[in-house]
Structure 1
Amino acid sequence: MSAGAEVTSRIRGGTLTAVAAALPRVGTTVAVTGASMISMAPSLLPRSPLAQGVVTGLLAATGWGLAAAARRLARRTPDDAQDGRRIAAFALAAIVLLWATLAAHQWQSALRAAMHVPAIGPSHWVQVAFWAVVVCLTLFGFTRAVGTVARRLRLLRAVALAAVIVTAGYFATPSATAVAAQHFRDSNAVIDPTLGTGVPGSLIPWESIGAEGRIFIAGRTDSSSIRVYAGLDSASDVSSRAALAVQELERTGAFTRGHVVIVVPTGSGWIDGEAATGLERRFGGDTALVGMQYSYAPSWATFLFGRDSAEQSARALFTAVADHTARFPVDARPALHVYGQSLGSVGGSAIFDDAGDLRARTCSALWAGPPAGAVRQDGATVLANSSDPVVWWSPMLMVRPPELDHVRVDAPVPQWLPGVSFLQASVDMLFALDSPSGHGHRYGADQGARMADCD
């Protein structure tokens, strides 16, 4: 080899080594690429660029951190900057991520087409990349800063600082919980003047039924139908609230109607207005709907920390209504139905011991969007969207596919992947109510049409 060729070879080799040294280690590249692919795995619902970017950034940062932790545990790692492995790994990662992005684009486009929402283009993924980089680098910088502080404080001081943080969190949590609870109560008490001033002659004060109760009562679309609602502030305990609701039903003549529907609300007392309208249409206005609030908190908080209140409230109201109708001659009794959506279906299904008990005590029951594994479905009509993450999500989704026997397929259904499907469903839970009606955790007025008649 001539001297000139040898110099050129050394320059090229030095350049490649410099490029490789500037790139992440092979382990880091593999971890970040794998985490990014997981973040773009098929979701149940369409993702905005910000949402997808945050998810990708969080997982990429997690992969980066795990790779760094693995290197520290191994203590000695080979120098892969000298033999071009970093360059090869980075190039392969770029190809793999391009393929994953194209696959994600096809999936997101299919979801949007099925749900009739605007399509996406290349700018969507440019924004995803931007937010992913911002989130990943922000987390990386934060962890670096924490590590630097910990090293400067050394072990003893770092442990002391951690103890202070944990102690502060321990004492701050009850205060934060109290603040949140008060916020929920305050929101419940807000009176919207556009909803009117209540029902003349009602035994249940308008201001006591809560914000969601007032929306439910004011939302009646059929003047021949009856709506009754008891709020948490309407009486001192669950039995008294149920008794008050029955008295109001009696006052309004609800028991002369052909159908009485016990509507079990979700957390905070919300009753789906489209469901209520659909139920009134289903029975041609010859119906009375009655609901009873059991929580100020939103559904997710009540589901985690106060599910018993939903079940107790549903049982109390149903028992009170059923006992009252039992006083009438058999041929003069209204048909009893039970409806519950989401957490309401949990409370509604808890009324009955089994399918036989349900059939014996009701005309029919309808559960819309029932949480996975939390609702007894036998004997009831189930309305569940395949794109509803509430129907999918449970801890068992980590290790086994969801039970989708009762779902209606409203959009492409992703293949179950261990761990990955759980992660994607968890993210989709945050946006379950952002979908068009009939998709995700939103169910339309057709819910009423699904309510079965008596056998």
Structure 2
Amino acid sequence: MTVLTVVLATVISLAPSLLPRPSVVQGIVTGLFVVAAPALLRLVVSVRRRRSGRTPPPERPELRLPVALVGGSAVLVAAAGAHRWQNRLREAMSVPPLDVRYWIEALTIATVVAAVLLSLPRLVHVLSRRPVAATVAVMSGIGIATVALSPGETIDTVSSPTALSAGLSGGAGSAVPWNRLGREGQRFVSLPAEGSPIRIYVALSAAPDPAARAELAVDELRRTGAFDRSYLVVTVPTGSGWVDAAAVRGFETRWDDDVAIVAQQYSDLPSWATFVLDRGAAAEEARALVTALRAHLSTLPHERRPTLHVYGQSLGATGATAVFDDIAPEPCTLFLAGPPAGVRTAGASVLANTSDPVVWWRPSLLWSPPDLSHARADAPTPPWLPVVSFLHTTVDLLTSLETAPGHGHRYSDDQALCTTTAR
């Protein structure tokens, strides 16, 4: 029974994914599945035995070899299918095809992961009897993790430019100094541009609450003359405060120097953490900003009011749609890119890839297929399988940004075009 469980776990780990899967990820997934499946089987058998009071029938040694041969054949067939599927994805996404080295690396990593996981109970038992060794092991692990994470925090910064134009937050006359923009705000205003861009960014630390940050954003827009332009784009950032450079480039290419872009940060955590811990923050911040903007626009003569557009990508799409809870968006005023599954898209201009795991992932994926009616087919779409699709989509979330633009959760300049209206 254990052999069959390991075979089934290996086959499931090789099921079709949404995105090309690196050998390291494939190896880790297979190793985890191979260890977790027998453990789950033992748990189920143990529970059933306690309830029924029956002892399981003894294993039949003469069946081990036939079962192993059949199981090995099944794994080889699954691996061949995975090889073909991965190469189909790679061809669609202009990624080099797999070779034998890929499977050697994946097998090696799977073996190491399985061996480490299987040895953990024994290691814990040994360390529990030696407190000093346990303390040294824990402190060493913390030290290694700290060293591994420190370089990313140090390198991932934005250098202060020698000069910023008055149309940018942090520039001449701005009420938001450069060192108060935060990393994502600095990236946003420093993006390459032609002409005279107006980009306003209000960081989370710039004011104490959403309403105060919104008023600061309006003041900055007024200072830069943004309300004299024909188009005003509110871009709702992702959970970390990131604004997609491709979207900014797309809007500024589409409307040249006749557009102003404003973003207001609602969190500085990774998007997944904000989604889990405080997903309502995006909606609250977006409503505050758009409410303040609408109030100011109502004071302007109708012929002088810029057209207001709202854009959101990923978690930012949840905030962008919340702006229109009380009114329906007019055509091409609401732009969504890669909206998470379940986000209301009616009346919006939507750009979503069928290969984007963010578009797929939601708890109901365990038992029902995803709604891809608003997505464009950018690559082969794997069949939906109960539970299995949920597991693989969860894994694909980890590499959703490691693709070429136009695939996965990476979108290009065309997300600023009103080309698709969701039904």
**Structure with the bigger percentage of helix:** 1
1:119 aligns with 2:93: no
CA contact (8 A) 2:332 2:418 kept: no
In 2, Cα distance between the equivalents of 1:145 and 1:414? 40
- Superposed CA deviations along residues 408-445 of structure 1, whole A, max 9, x for unmatched, are 11111000000000000000011111111111111111
Partner of 1:254: 226
Matches for 1:399-418 after TM superposition, within 5 Å: 399-418=367-386
- Superposed CA deviations along residues 106-162 of structure 1, whole A, max 9, x for unmatched, are 000001111111111112111111111111122112235557899x9xxxxxxxx9x
Q: Which amino acid aligns with 2:57?
A: T
The structure 2 residue matched to 1:105, chosen from 63, 74, 83, is: 83
- Superposed CA deviations along residues 38-69 of structure 1, whole A, max 9, x for unmatched, are 11100001111110010001001112223444
For residues 363 and 109 of structure 1, do their structure 2 counterparts lie closer, same or farther at Cα, with a shift above 3 Å needed?
closer
Identical-residue share of aligned pairs (%): 44
In 1, Cα distance between the equivalents of 2:38 and 2:311? 48
Partner of 1:344: 316
For residues 41 and 363 of structure 1, do their structure 2 counterparts lie closer, same or farther at Cα, with a shift above 3 Å needed?
closer
Q: Which amino acid aligns with 2:90?
A: R
Q: Partner of 1:385: helix, strand, or coil?
A: coil
Partner of 1:155: none
The structure 1 residue matched to 2:263, chosen from 281, 288, 291, is: 291
Q: Which amino acid aligns with 1:390?
A: V
In 1, Cα distance between the equivalents of 2:106 and 2:358? 25
In 2, Cα distance between the equivalents of 1:191 and 1:273? 15
For residues 67 and 271 of structure 1, do their structure 2 counterparts lie closer, same or farther at Cα, with a shift above 3 Å needed?
same
Q: Which amino acid aligns with 2:39?
A: G
- Superposed CA deviations along residues 68-125 of structure 1, whole A, max 9, x for unmatched, are 44565464432311xx210000000110000000000000000111111111111211
Partner of 1:87: 65
Q: Which amino acid aligns with 2:399?
A: F
The structure 1 residue matched to 2:160, chosen from 193, 198, 219, is: 193
Partner of 1:45: 19
Q: Which amino acid aligns with 2:365?
A: L
Relative to the length of structure 1, the TM-score reads 0.81
In 1, Cα distance between the equivalents of 2:124 and 2:345? 49
In 2, Cα distance between the equivalents of 1:79 and 1:398? 33
Q: Which amino acid aligns with 1:300?
A: W
CA contact (8 A) 1:268 1:297 kept: yes
- Superposed CA deviations along residues 367-409 of structure 1, whole A, max 9, x for unmatched, are 1000101x21111111101110000000000000000000011
Q: Which amino acid aligns with 1:51?
A: V
For residues 252 and 452 of structure 1, do their structure 2 counterparts lie closer, same or farther at Cα, with a shift above 3 Å needed?
farther
Q: Partner of 1:423: helix, strand, or coil?
A: helix
For residues 119 and 402 of structure 1, do their structure 2 counterparts lie closer, same or farther at Cα, with a shift above 3 Å needed?
same
Q: Partner of 1:284: helix, strand, or coil?
A: helix
Q: Partner of 1:366: helix, strand, or coil?
A: strand
For residues 318 and 195 of structure 1, do their structure 2 counterparts lie closer, same or farther at Cα, with a shift above 3 Å needed?
farther
Provide the aligned length of Structure 1 versus Structure 2.
391
In 2, Cα distance between the equivalents of 1:196 and 1:125? 51
In 2, Cα distance between the equivalents of 1:365 and 1:320? 17
**CA deviation after TM superposition for structure 1 residue 451, in Å:** 6.9
Relative to the length of structure 2, the TM-score reads 0.87
CA contact (8 A) 2:309 2:334 kept: yes
Q: Which amino acid aligns with 1:79?
A: E
Q: Partner of 2:263: helix, strand, or coil?
A: strand
The structure 2 residue matched to 1:62, chosen from 13, 32, 36, is: 36
In 1, Cα distance between the equivalents of 2:28 and 2:240? 29
Aligned-residue RMSD, C-alpha: 2.6
- Superposed CA deviations along residues 198-229 of structure 1, whole A, max 9, x for unmatched, are 31111222211111111111115132331111
For residues 85 and 196 of structure 1, do their structure 2 counterparts lie closer, same or farther at Cα, with a shift above 3 Å needed?
farther
Q: Partner of 1:275: helix, strand, or coil?
A: helix
1:389 aligns with 2:389: no
Query: Which region of structure 1 is more displaced relative to structure 2, 439-448 or 136-145?
Result: 136-145
Q: Partner of 2:352: helix, strand, or coil?
A: strand
CA contact (8 A) 2:332 2:348 kept: no
Q: Partner of 1:367: helix, strand, or coil?
A: strand
In 2, Cα distance between the equivalents of 1:379 and 1:253? 30
Partner of 2:198: 226
Query: Which region of structure 1 is more displaced relative to structure 2, 415-424 or 292-301?
Result: 292-301
Q: Partner of 1:263: helix, strand, or coil?
A: strand
Q: Partner of 1:408: helix, strand, or coil?
A: coil
Partner of 1:236: 208
In 2, Cα distance between the equivalents of 1:141 and 1:226? 58
CA contact (8 A) 1:205 1:234 kept: no
Partner of 2:405: 437
For residues 328 and 149 of structure 1, do their structure 2 counterparts lie closer, same or farther at Cα, with a shift above 3 Å needed?
closer
For residues 145 and 323 of structure 1, do their structure 2 counterparts lie closer, same or farther at Cα, with a shift above 3 Å needed?
same
CA contact (8 A) 1:112 1:118 kept: yes
CA contact (8 A) 1:279 1:451 kept: no
Structure 2 stretches lacking a partner, 5+ long: 132-145, 165-169
In 1, Cα distance between the equivalents of 2:202 and 2:282? 14
The structure 2 residue matched to 1:310, chosen from 262, 282, 285, is: 282
In 2, Cα distance between the equivalents of 1:252 and 1:422? 47
For residues 339 and 195 of structure 1, do their structure 2 counterparts lie closer, same or farther at Cα, with a shift above 3 Å needed?
farther
1:29 aligns with 2:3: yes
Q: Partner of 1:400: helix, strand, or coil?
A: coil
Q: Partner of 1:407: helix, strand, or coil?
A: coil
Q: Partner of 2:204: helix, strand, or coil?
A: coil
In 2, Cα distance between the equivalents of 1:200 and 1:336? 26
